[in-house]
């Protein structure tokens, strides 16, 4: 092994592979780990290079766009649409599911510290990505989210068919772009299936258990979950903050100003400028909610960000406050504003309310 400190590289040629491991912002990868996994990495690199033989500038540009279907921005927009405009209960479930899945992915990446393909062979990297490689976040979150989101409106069979297609396409884009090994993708799928299993089979009895304890029991449970998330993954406090903030906001909304995403505003005509007024109102909710989210995100970033006066002393604490307040706005602040502006009505207290279905 030779250390080329000036170049910021560790070069391991002990096994003849000649891997180049960068010392970048995520830290130094273990050369011993690279050597012990050399067969897996070599196979993965060969597959990535084989896929890239079909490369063209147009195809690369297209794939760079398609891969965003597995990114956080798409999930945030879809959850906001569900929560504010279609079914607030399912929106809350999806939000907590995605937050937990993203936390699990980040924690395991930090624990395992496995490289991405372009760490070992920079020539295969068509884009760069933050953090380590295993498990693939795009693969894990796309399978997790789309399976849960589409089950209601499409039914289980069609939902899994569409989810499978989306997931395979996203996995292909991650391999083509050189940011994941096949093992990263498989690891992401395994975690997604495990998370979905808990979502479908463990969540319903847990919800019934917490519902029997009013608002206080679920609030304590959410706080405990956030504490555990931060204790096990202390280097990234925003996952626990998002989980606690969204849970607390939803519980407060249900207790004090029960907002219904599906209910029509009663004082509006059926049509407005030739458009269905219900769609217009939902569109206004989405625009106002996202505008408030954007303003709050950047406003709080200025107050609590890494370079700010308040964030300089304890960045993880200020980050927790930043994302906690932001998720409170999404789950409680925006619905309260919709009710005040007459863009929504209080949720009808019907016995079969819990069975109401909806979805994106």
pLDDT in the model for residue 353: 43
SS (H, E, C) 155-213: HHHHHHHHHHHHHHHHHHHHHHCCCCCHHHHHHHHHHHHHHHHHHHHCHHHHHHHHHCC
Per-residue confidence (pLDDT) for residue 342, from 0 to 100: 86
Q: Please state the domain count of the chain.
A: 1
The pLDDT assigned to 105 comes to 95
Phi, psi of 102 (to 5 degrees): -65, -40
Buried b (16+ CB within 10 A) or exposed e, 97-117: bbbbbbbbbbbbbeeebbbbb
Asked whether residue 219 is domain-assigned, the answer is yes
- Do 95 and 328 meet the contact criterion of CB atoms below 8 Å apart? no
> How confident is the prediction along the chain (360 residues), in pLDDT tens digits per residue?
332 222 333 334 333 344 444 444 344 455 556 566 678 888 999 999 999 999 999 999 999 999 988 888 899 999 999 999 999 999 999 999 999 999 999 999 999 899 999 998 999 999 988 889 999 999 999 999 999 999 877 777 888 999 999 999 999 999 999 999 999 999 999 999 999 999 999 888 888 888 787 888 889 999 999 999 999 998 888 999 999 999 999 999 999 999 988 876 655 555 554 555 678 889 899 999 999 999 999 888 888 766 665 656 677 788 899 999 999 999 999 999 999 998 888 876 433 444 444 444
| pLDDT confidence of residue 32 | 54
Evaluate whether residue 44 is within a structural domain.
Answer: no
Residue 308, domain member (yes or no): yes
Find where tokens 């050597």 sit. Answer: 35
| Residue 9: predicted pLDDT | 36
Alpha helices by DSSP H, listed for the chain, are: 31-36, 38-51, 57-66, 72-81, 88-112, 117-120, 137-176, 182-201, 203-211, 216-232, 238-256, 277-304, 315-328, 334-340
Q: Is residue 343 part of a domain?
A: yes
Determine, yes or no, domain membership for 100. Answer: no
For residue 153, is it within any domain?
no
Structural domain contains residue 339: yes
Q: How far is CA 356 from the centre of its chain?
A: 25
Q: What's the domain range around 261? A: 214-347
Structure tokens at 347: 């949720």
Q: Which two tokens stand for residue 18?
A: 């000649």
Dist. CA 120–CA 117, nearest whole Å: 6
Q: Tell me which DSSP letter residue 11 carries.
A: E
Distance CA 253, CA 38 (A): 53
Does any domain span residue 9? no
């Amino acid at each position: 092994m030779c250390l080329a400190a000036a170049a910021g590289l560790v070069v391991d040629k002990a096994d003849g592979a000649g891997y180049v491991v960068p010392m970048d912002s995520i830290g130094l990868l273990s050369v011993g780990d690279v050597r012990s996994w050399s067969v897996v990495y070599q196979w993965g690199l060969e597959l990535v290079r084989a896929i890239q033989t079909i490369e063209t500038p147009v195809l690369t540009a297209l794939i760079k766009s398609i891969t965003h279907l597995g990114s956080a921005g798409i999930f945030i927009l879809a959850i906001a649409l569900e929560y504010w405009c279609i079914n607030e209960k399912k929106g809350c479930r999806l939000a907590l599911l995605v937050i937990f899945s993203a936390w699990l992915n980040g924690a395991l990446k930090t624990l395992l510290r496995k490289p991405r393909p372009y760490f070992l062979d920079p020539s295969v990297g068509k884009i760069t990505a933050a953090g380590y490689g295993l498990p693939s976040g795009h693969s894990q979150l796309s399978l997790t989210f789309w399976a849960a989101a589409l089950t209601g409106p499409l039914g289980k069979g069609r939902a899994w068919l569409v989810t499978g297609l989306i997931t395979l396409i996203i996995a292909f884009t991650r391999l083509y772009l050189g940011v994941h090994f096949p093992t990263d993708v498989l690891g992401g799928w395994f975690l997604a299936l495990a998370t979905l299993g808990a979502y479908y089979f463990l969540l319903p009895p847990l919800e019934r258990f917490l519902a029997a304890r009013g608002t206080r029991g679920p609030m304590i449970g959410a706080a405990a979950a956030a504490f555990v998330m931060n204790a096990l993954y202390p280097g990234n406090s925003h996952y626990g903050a998002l989980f606690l903030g969204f849970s607390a906001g939803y519980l407060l909304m249900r207790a004090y100003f029960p907002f219904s995403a599906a209910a029509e505003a009663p004082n509006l005509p059926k049509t407005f400028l030739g458009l269905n007024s219900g769609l217009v109102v939902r569109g206004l909710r989405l625009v106002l909610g996202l505008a408030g989210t954007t303003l709050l995100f950047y406003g709080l970033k200025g107050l609590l960000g890494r370079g700010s006066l308040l964030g300089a002393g304890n960045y993880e604490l200020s980050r927790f406050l930043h994302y906690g307040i932001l998720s409170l706005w999404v789950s409680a602040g925006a619905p309260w504003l919709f009710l005040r502006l007459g863009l929504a009505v209080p949720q009808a207290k019907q016995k079969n309310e819990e069975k109401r279905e909806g979805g994106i």
